[in-house]
Amino acid sequence: MILLTEVFGVFATNAYFYVDDETNCGFLIDPGAQADELIKIIDEHGWTIEKILLTHGHFDHIGAVPELQSRLNVEVCMQSNGRVYVQDPAWNLSAYFGADMTLDDVTYVDDLSTITLAANPSFGVKMIPLPGHTSDGAVYYSAADSVAFVGDSIFLNSYGRTDFPGGDEFALLTNLRTRVLTLPDDTALLSGHTPPTTVAREKSRPWFG
């Protein structure tokens, strides 16, 4: 099961539950705000969240992590370049909104690793590094379900900003062409701030030609 939940902090951000139907265990991706609402959803479905996965370290994608860590005792995973983002409020942008935040207990995942559930090791995602929007950008891809959780790297009809710390437009466009738009055409791209799109749809954009 994949469940999109829009959470509201300074910005509205898409958080995703990716849950194995056989075990009711799964992942929570980019919980940017409203920890209470996310826990309510978990409790209502009877899910066990084994890991929180972060597509990048901006505050609107990590804002609910400290409370969720405390209440769920859950591991938090991200790409290794995320260290500077979660340890520096200027890099994660929370400093600019008067609410400095950092994360301490984070597991830094090797590029191209497959992250699986303890409850069902056949259920998992591959972490594909995708720097550009940030230097720690990552995509979590499931070939089995033809879905990629892409954060703010690519959106419906657009791609991510690159004017924040660690951003690089050339790197972003290059990596999108070679690491995302080479996935099967029917792959659903689930972003941080827009409705879903597909690889086929975004391959037709002129900036990816």
What is the DSSP code string of 23-63? TSEEEEE---S-HHHHHHHHHHHT-EEEEEE-S---HHHHT
pTM for the predicted model, two decimal places: 0.96
Q: Please report, for the domain that includes residue 21, its CATH number.
A: 3.60.15.10
For the stretch 127-179, pLDDT in tens is 999 999 999 999 999 999 999 999 999 999 999 999 999 999 999 999 999 99
206 has a pLDDT exceeding 90: no
Report the share of the chain in percent with pLDDT over 90: 89
Query: Residue 209: its pLDDT value, please?
Result: 62
Query: Residue 9: its pLDDT value, please?
Result: 66
Range of the domain at 54: 2-208
Pick the residue with more confidence: 208 or 46?
A: 46
Pick the residue with more confidence: 97 or 19?
A: 19
Whether residue 62 contacts residue 92, with contact meaning beta carbons closer than 8 Å, is answered with: yes
Which one-letter amino acid corresponds to residue 137?
G
C-alpha span between 148 and 169 (Å, rounded): 21
Whether residue 47 contacts residue 26, with contact meaning beta carbons closer than 8 Å, is answered with: yes
Query: Residue 6: its pLDDT value, please?
Result: 77
Query: Residue 8: its pLDDT value, please?
Result: 75
Q: In this predicted structure, which of 108-112, 115-119, 173-177, 205-209 has the lowest mean pLDDT?
A: 205-209
Query: Residue 99: its pLDDT value, please?
Result: 86
Whether residue 51 contacts residue 4, with contact meaning beta carbons closer than 8 Å, is answered with: no
Domain count for the chain, please give it: 1
C-alpha span between 42 and 68 (Å, rounded): 11
For the stretch 46-84, pLDDT in tens is 999 999 999 999 999 999 999 999 999 999 999 999 999
